[in-house]
Amino acid sequence: MKTLASFLLLSAAAMAQTAIPIDLRCEYHQNPAAIGTRTPRFSWKLQPADETARGIRQTAYEIEVAAEDGRPLWQSGKVQAAATDQIAYAGVPLSSRARATWKVRVWDAADKASSWSPAASFAVGLLDPTDWQALWISAKDDASFTTRENVQNFVGDPERGVLTVTPAKHFRKGFEARAVKRATLHATALGVFTVEINGARVSDERLAPGWSAYQKRIHSRTWDVTSFVKDGDNAIGATLADGWYSGYVAYGLLTAQEGLVPGLNGRYYYGISPAVRVQLELELADGTKRHIITDTSWKCSTGPITESDILMGESYDARKEMPGWSKAGFDDSKWQDAVVKTGTDSAVEPHPGVPVRPIQEMPAKSVTEHKPGVFIFDLGQNISGVVRLKVKGKAGDKVTIRHAEMLHQDGRLSTENLRCARAVDTYTLKGDPAGETWTPEFTYHGFQYVELTGFPGTPDKDAVTGIVIHSDTPLHGSFESDEPMLNRLYQNMVWTQRANFFEMPTDCPQRDERMGWTGDAQIYVRAATYNADIASFYTKWLRDLNDDQWDYGAYPAYAPRPLARPNEHHAAGWMDAGVICPWTIWQVYGDTRVITEHWRKMNDFMDWRKLRDPELDGATDDCNFGDWLSLGDVKTPIPFIDLAYHAYCARLMAEMATAIGDAKRAAGYKAHADKVTASFRKLHLKPDGSLAVHNQSAYAMALFFGLIPEDRKTASAAHLAKLVKENGNRMTTGFLGTRPLLPALSAHGHHDLAGVLMLQREFPSWGYEVDNGATTIWERWNSYVKGKGVHTPEMNSFSHYAFGAVCEWMMGELAGIDRAAPGFDRVKIAPRPINGIRRASAAMMTRHGKLACAWRIENGVFHAEVTVPPNTTAEILLPVKGAVSESGKPAASAPGILKAEGERLSAGSGIYHFSAPL
């Protein structure tokens, strides 16, 4: 009876709650093992106790944070606020290694308290240089491990010399442990690494700790490895490869004539010898602590990974495996002593983003024998990652694995677009009669097709499996319609984003580049937020960007910035990522810390911009990237682009200044934006609304950036529409012009024309790519044409997300979901059908919960189901008049509707159904 009574009381309490806090996060992560700040931010979402409830909102919250021993660290008390995110810790000062649990409860609109949430946890990483006792260690004679290979066969340029390939190094140390209560591993590298304890790998992460501006900042990773350590004898081992630190990056094999220091030859931009730093911290049952650290007592050797490079690929000789090398008792008497690497004084701090890891497996769809002994596998999808090889043969058999995104007309791999990236993996068998399985560790490729040569016998399809690898940004978006082309296009966008959100927002995952190009990043960042949670990913990359800001104030063309080519210093539309990306992260996630963290450097950038163009004519000292890959005879001049972006960024700076309470700068930037805009109009805008630069990109940018006065917007938009129609309803825009093109048309009376462009199937168009077999977004509209083959190879990526920025329009205009206030505290739901589409739906996860809209047209009636996240209000505008709710009554009278002004509704959270005749 007592148990039943308790159950009934708990059930009644649950029913009395309107919402409970869920999905507790600290610094964007669930139960993070090492945060890099002493003032972490907390967040949660509200889950309605009744999924049919509407108008769920929070009026107050209370947070309690406690140390592991139960000591209270912070008790916020009841705070009268609706905030569920970006709530900064304000308790007892936290130090490195601090561990805590936290919980939250909330009050609803009726001032009813929820139950306390289940406790979440966080730990503070190593924040001070003195926290690291471990030394940087490296191989004694790194040069002795190096081999060289002539690469003229795949580069096709004898002046580029030879490829220098380097094996991975193994480091190990034995140790004894007794009564270990907790074991925490902190590790980092100048290079990339994995760690094993007692023969078991401690994490599935790849290419840790990632890439950064090594001269300023190095990231570390932390894991709880208590379960890996046993009583008695133990061993720890680390495998180290060159990675981005000393391996090939940024155009692979380059000559001095291309602006590099002679001898670098495409690698060693940060250093020659990679190094690793490992600190295993043991907390014993008696309260004492012991650290196992990298120092000269560690041993070093090469092993089966005979070549390892991110761009060039990896070679593995299974005959050289060292069974048990990371276990206790292994004989390392013939190994070298590790040496200490000195001269590295960059800050080491916990990685703020998500790890790179294997996400998905892709079985091969088919395998064909292209010619005797040459087998080509098709995964059916262009991905970033590696393959898992299954093979059986005799010792010494060598299987060569080549990768490509596309095939030539004759069925052979198309690898010319890889340029200097060899992208070849090899596996030498040890002759295990049971068969052998291998997956490369310290490389990755962009590919759909895999070629095997040297395979013993005839492989089945399961000999090759694609392993999808990228930064583990949680995917949460969806789009679906009654148009198969759009559905495939959306999937192409997501796959391209996945392939290129790889430690940084890269331009491409396949060729000798793979860098964080700033222009691509700012063009696509808003679209990216629809598809995945990129908050911590961009937190990390924006630090890279600001670390590598040029001393004179401009942001670079790419970040991290390993080299300084004379023609790639700064560029309009590229350098502006330093302002546009933080503004976008604030707008989507309500994150003002990202503004304050980089505020000084953003101001430095804007100050430099003012000084370089005092007359506000638009500057010309530019890399001349311009509207990259635009079509047509009329190009958009650099001064036009520069001045347009100058005005736009000044306006964004004013908004950010207001957000962080800097009223003086807000007023200053608003005045400056007005001044730059006035100069733009004087130079480029004519009385009839036409522009001196008469092309689609110029009008799209000017309208999207708000540079056209209200009394001439209609005329300017008409000029844009005319240009599109005169071109056969096709685009001429490049990277910079395509992102604003459809939004500019839809916002200024030409939504129908935007729809025509969206559904266009002729070149150039998104439909043209899909019809020609694209499974990702291409760098060029005609990167491949059926019946003709591959476009000119020197710059032809098949995984390049810039033109995928139209995802923003598909989600925000066609499906109709967007923010109406920073952080989605208010949301906008305004679906806008186009001719040719009878059904569309989209959803995304905001910081408050799911935002969605699904509409369809049946028998002349428009139907919509909309989902408003908890703790928000929605501005709903349907493309019909006289809408009714699911009850058949006027929509304005439906439960949850807060206000109605004509056809515009204001609604609280919940799921609503509306319909009306078209």
Catalytic residues: 513, 779
Q: Cβ of 79: how many Cβ atoms within 10 Å?
A: 12
The tokens for 202 are 């401690």
Helix 484-500 vs helix 751-759: crossing angle, to nearest 10? 80
Q: How far is CA 620 from the centre of its chain?
A: 31
- Complete edge-to-edge strand list for the sheet that includes strand 41-48: 19-26, 41-48, 87-88
**Cα dihedral 732/531/494/759 (nearest 10):** -40
**Residue 243 near residue 442, CB atoms below 8 Å:** yes
**Residue 411 near residue 384, CB atoms below 8 Å:** no
**Quick check: helix, strand or coil at residue 830?**
coil
DSSP string computed for 67-93 = ETTS-EEEE---B-----SSEE--SSP
**Residue 50 near residue 27, CB atoms below 8 Å:** no
With CA atoms as reference, report the closest residue to 190 among 245, 267, 135, 141: 245
Q: Which amino acid is at 124?
A: V
DSSP string computed for 624-672 = ---STT--SS-PPPHHHHHHHHHHHHHHHHHHHHHHTT-HHHHHHHHHH
- Measured between alpha carbons, how far is residue 428 from residues 173, 393, 438, 625 in Å? 28, 10, 10, 44
DSSP string computed for 550-619 = -TTSPPPSBSS-----TT-S--TTTTTHHHHHHHHHHHHH---HHHHHHHHHHHHHHHHHHHH-TT-S--
Q: How far is CA 162 from the centre of its chain?
A: 33
Q: What's the CA gap between 695 and 677, in Å, rounded? A: 19
Q: What's the CA gap between 584 and 101, in Å, rounded? A: 31
**Quick check: helix, strand or coil at residue 216?**
coil
Question: Strand pairing partners for 607?
Answer: none
Long-range contacts of 765-773 (CB under 8 A, 24+ apart): 765/730, 765/731, 766/485, 766/489, 766/803, 766/806, 767/485, 767/489, 769/489, 769/492, 770/485, 770/488, 770/489, 770/492, 771/485
Q: What's the CA gap between 863 and 14, in Å, rounded? A: 34
Alpha-helical regions (H) of 336-433:
none
Residue with tokens 């309107």: 18
Q: What's the CA gap between 515 and 496, in Å, rounded? A: 15
- Residue 417 DSSP class: G
Tally of CA atoms within 13 A in the half-sphere of 522 that contains its CB? 27
